[in-house]
Amino acid sequence: MDKPQFTQFTVEMAQEFHRRMAAIIDAVQAGSWQSGAHDLLGYVTDYGSGQKRGLQTLILKTRNRSAYIRLQLDTILGDAPRDRQRVDEAVASAINELS
């Protein structure tokens, strides 16, 4: 099954994208804290653009470590089980890197 390509980006899609990015940041912060890294998480983003909007990069930093989460926009906005799994895997990897 092919993923839908978002040909027209709406304000609702932008809002949902930011909600999901915030949820990723929140999950990594909580997970790294629970793993013993009691640092406030900082972050920087690099949003792709263009028709496919491509790769979205989220850089997460603590005092001594950093981790990158790179996901396609369609994956971040997707609701398919594989999309959710990829996000979960990226979050787990970031927690591991920061802990």
Give the angle 4-44-78 at the CA atoms, nearest 5°: 15
Structure tokens given for 45? 């983003």
User: Does residue 4 have a pLDDT over 60?
Assistant: no
- Per-residue pLDDT tens over the stretch 14-31: 899 999 999 999 999 999
Name the pTM for this structure: 0.84
Arithmetic mean of pLDDT over the chain: 87
**CA 63 – CA 75 distance, rounded (Å):** 29
| Residue-range domains of the chain with CATH | 11-98 (3.30.160)
